Amino acid sequence: MYATVMNGFSKRGHTEKTFSLFRLMEQGSTKPYRYIYSIVIDALCKDRMLDAVVSLLNEMKQKGLVGGKMLGLCSVRWLVNVNIYPNVYTFSIVIDGLCKEEKVEDAEKIMRHMIRKGEEPTVVTYNAIADGYCLRGQID
């Protein structure tokens, strides 16, 4: 239930509500898990609140929650700088974010880097790039 509500808040740009519900969840008996963190991190990244992202990542590290499926981070270089090495899920989130900002060429560079690092794109990755081209009006 928490994930559904937080995801809805995040998709509508209500980062403060997403984060407040996250903190409320932490105080209750149901503790946040990686997917919940990924929703919050994605919301914070969309609002370019990188200090809050770093803080949340540190919390995740302390709790042993940072792992291969950690999502929603803003750039591959930034990930490496905080000692998190992206997998296909993380790469796809970065690619999707770039495409939503109509930076498809940058997204394709990330995808090529991803392939060089041994991560195969998924249908989600390709859909993000196709969506990026559509946003720019480059349907062909």
| CA torsion through residues 20, 25, 31, 32, sign | negative
pLDDT of 14 higher than 90: yes
Report residue 72's pLDDT band, with 50, 70 and 90 as the boundaries: very low
d(CA 32, CA 37): 7
pLDDT of 129 higher than 90: yes
Mean pLDDT over 100-105 rounds to 82
Biggest CA–CA distance in the chain, Å, is 51
pLDDT of 26 higher than 80: yes
- Average pLDDT along the chain: 80
Report residue 57's pLDDT band, with 50, 70 and 90 as the boundaries: confident
Mean pLDDT over 56-84 rounds to 60
pLDDT of 75 higher than 60: no
Q: What angle do CA 2, 63, 42 make, to 5 degrees?
A: 45
Nearest to 108 by CA among 88, 87, 130: 130
d(CA 36, CA 23): 11
Of the listed ranges 67-71, 81-85, 101-105, the one predicted with least confidence: 67-71
What is the value of pTM for the model shown? 0.52
Place of tokens 């081209």: 133
Place of tokens 């997403």: 18
What pLDDT is recorded for position 119? 86
Nearest to 30 by CA among 3, 57, 52, 11: 3
Of the listed ranges 3-12, 80-89, 90-99, 111-120, the one predicted with least confidence: 80-89
